[in-house]
């Protein structure tokens, strides 16, 4: 495997960062997870733009332009023949001192990995996830704003630990007000009749790229889409619930906190949107070849 490191493709055993890199020491950096389908990088420009917004929010100046970054992603995919896979794009603050001061770091590190990924077994897409609400709340928007895809994912990891300890693979995270934010790594949707709901960014949810695509596809199918403040009651009583994310795509939820959602299996809207999304993803994007 070849890893993109600061303008060069190097073997993975030579793709290293310093122990003084603030990305390692403090989680100081940003990232994106991107998918390739059928020889195309899906929503590449949108992912790159979000990376730069995250970087701007933490006062991190990326040492290359957005078009250069997009070209580097395609180059890395070509080098690894990653025609149907996952791309992790990382920018760290770079080497600095052992202190917190980020301005001692002079050269940000740009890393791109293109490889395979399978987040959930296929059977869970067919049967639906069983998930739980956890006690770890989503970061406050004036703490580490969830809109920033930072390298500090400890908030999500703590919630994931709770989910695993409860015998599930995913969890619902609430915010400081007790309303629904998102899952540990995915956005959450509820279907009621011909209406589709998902929490707003103000709830502590990341405005996911896949989330936005699904909302557009749902509108094209005649669904009424909105972003209200949501409680667990709205999820428990929904006809269907599903999660969306770059790696997860669209996966149905059959049970939340031991309450069946619908008949306990992915519903017709979830299945239809998943099929529509996959077709759209395979037919659009930035060509790799």
The H helix count followed by the E strand count for the chain is 8, 16
Burial of 257 (0-12, 13-18, 19+ CB in 10 A): middle
CA 56 centroid distance within chain: 19
Q: How far apart are CA 289 and CA 78, in angstroms?
A: 7
Place of tokens 């989330």: 211
Active-site position among 2, 8, 75, 149: 149
Answer whether 131's CB lies under 8 Å from 171's CB.
yes
User: CA angle at residue 33 from 124 to 279, to 5 degrees?
Assistant: 60
DSSP assignments along 178-200, one per residue? SSEEEESSSEEEEEETTEEE---
Nearest of 90, 140, 76, 87 to residue 116 by alpha carbon: 87
Q: How far apart are CA 22 and CA 70, in angstroms?
A: 24
User: What are φ and ψ of residue 110, in 5° steps?
Assistant: -110, 120
78 included as an active-site residue = no
Residues annotated catalytic, as ranges: 149
């Amino acid at each position: 495997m070849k890893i993109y490191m600061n303008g060069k493709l190097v073997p993975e055993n030579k793709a290293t960062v310093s122990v003084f890199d603030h990305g390692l020491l403090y989680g100081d950096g940003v990232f994106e997870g991107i998918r390739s389908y059928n020889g195309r990088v899906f929503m590449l420009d949108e992912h790159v733009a979000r990376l730069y917004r995250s970087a701007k929010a933490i006062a991190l100046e990326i040492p290359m332009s957005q078009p250069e970054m997009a070209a580097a992603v395609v180059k890395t995919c070509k080098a690894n023949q990653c025609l149907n896979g996952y791309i992790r794009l990382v920018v760290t603050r770079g080497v600095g001192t052992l202190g917190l001061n980020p301005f001692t770091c002079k050269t940000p590190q740009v890393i791109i990995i293109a490889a395979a990924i399978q987040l959930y077994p296929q059977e869970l897409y067919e049967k639906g996830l069983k998930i739980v609400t956890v006690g770890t709340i989503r970061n406050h928007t004036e703490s580490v704003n969830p809109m920033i895809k930072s390298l500090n994912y400890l908030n999500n990891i703590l919630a994931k630990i709770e989910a695993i300890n409860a015998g599930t693979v995913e969890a619902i995270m609430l915010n400081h007000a007790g309303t629904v934010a998102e899952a540990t790594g995915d956005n959450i949707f509820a279907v009621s009749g011909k209406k589709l709901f998902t929490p707003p960014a103000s709830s502590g949810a990341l405005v996911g790229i896949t989330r936005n695509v699904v909302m557009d596809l749902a509108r094209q199918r005649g669904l009424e889409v909105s972003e209200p403040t949501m409680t667990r009651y709205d999820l428990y009583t929904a006809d269907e619930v599903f999660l969306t994310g770059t790696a997860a795509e669209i996966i149905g939820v059959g049970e939340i906190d031991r309450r069946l959602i619908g008949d306990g299996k992915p519903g017709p809207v979830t299945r239809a949107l998943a099929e529509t999304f996959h077709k759209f993803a395979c037919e659009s994007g930035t060509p790799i070849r």
